[in-house]
Amino acid sequence: MTSVLAIGLVLVTSLVIGVYGVRAARSTSDFLVASRRVSPNWNALAIAGEYLSAASVLGLSGLLLKNGLGTMWYAVGFAAGYVAVVALVAGPMRRSGAFTVPDFAEYRLGAPRLRKLCGLVVLVIMLLYLVPQFKGAGVVLSLVSGTPYWVGVLLAGVVVSGSIAAGGMRSATYVQAFHYVVKLAFIAVPAIYLVVHAGPETRAEALNPEWGTHFPEATPVEFTVDTDFSLDEPVTVTTPSGDGVELSAGEHTVGQGTEYVFPEGATIPHPDGLPELGSERWSTPLLDVGGYPLFETWSTLLAITFGCMGLPHVIMRFHTSPTARTARRVAVGVIALLGLFYLFPMVYGLLGRVLTPQLVLLQGTDTVAVVLPAQAVPGSVGTVLTALVAAGAFGAFLSTSSGLLLALAGGLSHDLFQGSVPRLRLAVVVGAGVAVLLALPAQMIDINVLVVWAFTVAASTFCPLLVLGIWWRRLTLAGAASGLAVGAVTATGAVGWSILFTTPAGWVTVLLAQPAAWTIPLAFGTMMAVSGLTRPPDWAEHAVLRLHSP
């Protein structure tokens, strides 16, 4: 109940700030003029607020609990993406006067037809990014209020599309800035409290995974899906009827709906295909899901770092700065804010291994940040801490998905169809509807897997388009179009294949699940090779030089 109240409070405060913020921003004739009155500090806060999604607030700690320390590379990638943004696109994009990638393509290559292709890619990226946000909202709501998962997803879709259609948070920089503060405070305060409260024994256990992972108390585990797991040593579990069942060491398969109570101190069984909690593989800080840790880490880093600059809602944000110079400086401020935030998700993952390891068996690790406080601190303090994290997660979901949905709707109504404002409203509703439908079957897919998929597509499509468009005079329309098509098809297809179908373990699986290492060079290569075969127009050099003239 407290959590529902806290979420409601974040919602109401956002709406209030939004109403006043929108008024302030709309009172001048031009969006850009209005944003000139926003100081770079506020602007950086707002960008960080929009950027920190459910993937950062819930997904990181959950994946750390499940896959191990290597997960923190995701966070590093999210921050490093802004270094690439500062170095490669922030200034020139601001000078181009283009709000979106399709706009930029039109400026640089002078081809209206490329708009449709770009619009399609925007659609794919934004949907892939929206689905995990809705998933996060559904999971959090069902945890704190007991409603089924689908109710939360549906409610999230209605709230976000409703709040945008009713007037929008579009230019409300202050709302996004408020959300950064909410997210930071609501994840940092419980984290610090938990670390202090946990006591020296739990802290030492969290920092020494090699001591093994045990159930901290007699823990009932209800398997919601069929689960394969293996045990290192035999254990006697209790069924709800009170009978003892002896599970031998080795492989086990339990059916959906089975309920076992594991005794205190028993070693955690490890589900099939996951690293053993606390093992060397878990505690080595490299991403190791398929058995090639260095390759997987590098491929993921490439996807996230280069994907960041191709994300439509990131690019749109450069225009809230009055000049190219400020745009670059604001992006540097964002890195500092992200680095500060990313100190905390690790706390939940590490303590979660000690205090709530059963989440791995339940395939519900994305909920660890919300479940942990109540588990670690019984009583009203725990309830309040849970409420804080839940509200922070909801703020994350709200600000990110609003930005995403607007970028999606903009792509739908401006680039794919000739649009007007009523059409934009319709596009918001349609976009949210599709994302909700896709999020319903996605409950078991990790938030971060989906988010990195979106980053991979962005890195294999818009990243080469922007980088070559800004820094290489010989890019041509044919080159850009073929590179975009190749990158979009390979990146979307590879990850989709690896999620939908099982592939033989080994290189094939890894290359499909982490395709950035080959799709990004492929997209760059295609763009450059096809551009080499065609001639750029005479004015191409001027278009490029213009991007770099202060």
Partner 1 sequence: MSPRREKLTSPQTRIALARGNRPAQHLLPIPGPVDTEAARKLFHAQRRTAVRTVALLTVLLFGVSGAFAAFPVLGHVRLGGVPLSWLLLAAGIYPLLFGLALWHVRSAERVERRAAREAPRRDEDPGRKR
Interface with partner 1 includes 116 (CB under 8 A)? Answer: no
Among 4, 15, 88, 231, binds partner 1 (CB under 8 A): 88
Total chain residues near partner 1 (CB under 8 A): 75
Interface with partner 1 includes 31 (CB under 8 A)? Answer: yes
Q: What minimum distance in Å lies between the beta carbon of 82 and partner 1?
A: 7
Among 8, 97, 244, 525, binds partner 1 (CB under 8 A): 97
The residue among 330, 448, 518 whose CA lies nearest residue 56 is: 448
Q: What minimum distance in Å lies between the beta carbon of 16 and partner 1?
A: 15
Question: Judged by CB, which is closer to partner 1: 320, or 401?
Answer: 320
Q: What share of the chain is helix, strand, coil (3-state, %, to 5)?
A: 70, 5, 20
Amino acid of residue 457: V
Q: Looking at residues 347 to 406 of the shown chain, list those that interact with partner 1 (rule: CB under 8 A).
A: none
- Give the tokens for residue 277: 């909690």
Interface with partner 1 includes 289 (CB under 8 A)? Answer: no
Q: What minimum distance in Å lies between the beta carbon of 542 and partner 1?
A: 4
Candidate segments 108-116, 151-159, 237-245, 355-363, binder of partner 1 by CB under 8 A? 108-116
Candidate segments 260-268, 279-287, 365-373, 500-508, binder of partner 1 by CB under 8 A? 279-287
- Give the tokens for residue 216: 């901290």
Interface with partner 1 includes 528 (CB under 8 A)? Answer: no
d(CA 241, CA 41): 60
Q: Looking at residues 309 to 328 of the shown chain, list those that interact with partner 1 (rule: CB under 8 A).
A: 319, 325, 328
Candidate segments 156-164, 386-394, 399-407, 413-421, binder of partner 1 by CB under 8 A? 413-421
Interface with partner 1 includes 33 (CB under 8 A)? Answer: no
Among 198, 301, 377, 466, binds partner 1 (CB under 8 A): 301
Residue pair 491/519 in contact by the 8 Å Cβ criterion? yes
Q: Looking at residues 213 to 242 of the shown chain, list those that interact with partner 1 (rule: CB under 8 A).
A: none
The residue among 313, 323, 342 whose CA lies nearest residue 80 is: 342
Burial of 513 (0-12, 13-18, 19+ CB in 10 A): buried
Interface with partner 1 includes 193 (CB under 8 A)? Answer: no
Interface with partner 1 includes 299 (CB under 8 A)? Answer: no
Candidate segments 111-119, 234-242, 429-437, 454-462, binder of partner 1 by CB under 8 A? 111-119
Candidate segments 38-46, 219-227, 501-509, 536-544, binder of partner 1 by CB under 8 A? 536-544
Q: Would you give the end-to-end CA distance of the chain in angstroms?
A: 55
DSSP secondary structure letter of residue 228:
E
Interface with partner 1 includes 204 (CB under 8 A)? Answer: yes
Question: Judged by CB, which is closer to partner 1: 192, or 343?
Answer: 343
Residue pair 173/43 in contact by the 8 Å Cβ criterion? yes
How many CB atoms within 10 Å of residue 493? 13
> Which single residue is written with the structure tokens 């019984």?
378
Candidate segments 158-166, 175-183, 200-208, 254-262, binder of partner 1 by CB under 8 A? 200-208
Question: Judged by CB, which is closer to partner 1: 28, or 239?
Answer: 28
Among 174, 182, 414, 498, binds partner 1 (CB under 8 A): 414
Interface with partner 1 includes 26 (CB under 8 A)? Answer: yes
d(CA 124, CA 490): 13
Among 212, 285, 322, 433, binds partner 1 (CB under 8 A): 285
Question: Judged by CB, which is closer to partner 1: 149, or 342?
Answer: 342
d(CA 494, CA 179): 34
d(CA 190, CA 428): 35
Among 10, 164, 338, 447, binds partner 1 (CB under 8 A): 338
d(CA 111, CA 402): 29
SS3 assignment, position 102: helix
Using only C-alpha atoms, the chain has a radius of gyration, in whole angstroms, of: 24
Q: Looking at residues 420 to 439 of the shown chain, list those that interact with partner 1 (rule: CB under 8 A).
A: 421
Among 10, 55, 57, 98, binds partner 1 (CB under 8 A): 98
Q: Looking at residues 50 to 79 of the shown chain, list those that interact with partner 1 (rule: CB under 8 A).
A: 69, 72-73, 76-77, 79
Residue pair 57/187 in contact by the 8 Å Cβ criterion? yes
Q: What minimum distance in Å lies between the beta carbon of 336 and partner 1?
A: 5
Question: Judged by CB, which is closer to partner 1: 16, or 225?
Answer: 16
Q: Looking at residues 448 to 477 of the shown chain, list those that interact with partner 1 (rule: CB under 8 A).
A: 471
Question: Judged by CB, which is closer to partner 1: 39, or 420?
Answer: 420
Interface with partner 1 includes 546 (CB under 8 A)? Answer: yes
Beta bridge partners of 246: 236
Which letter, b or e, does each residue of 20-57 get, where b requires 16 or more Cβ atoms within 10 Å of its Cβ?
ebbeebeeeeeeeebbeebebebbbbbbbbbbbbbbbb
d(CA 127, CA 118): 14
Q: Looking at residues 143 to 182 of the shown chain, list those that interact with partner 1 (rule: CB under 8 A).
A: 171
What value, to the nearest 5°, has the Cα angle with vertex 308 and ends 302 and 309?
A: 105
d(CA 340, CA 97): 31
Question: Judged by CB, which is closer to partner 1: 116, or 525?
Answer: 116
Q: What minimum distance in Å lies between the beta carbon of 473 and partner 1?
A: 9
Q: Looking at residues 249 to 278 of the shown chain, list those that interact with partner 1 (rule: CB under 8 A).
A: none
> Which single residue is written with the structure tokens 């094939």?
508
Q: What minimum distance in Å lies between the beta carbon of 357 and partner 1?
A: 19
Alpha-carbon distance values, 203 to 94, 238, 368 (Å): 47, 30, 17
d(CA 392, CA 53): 10
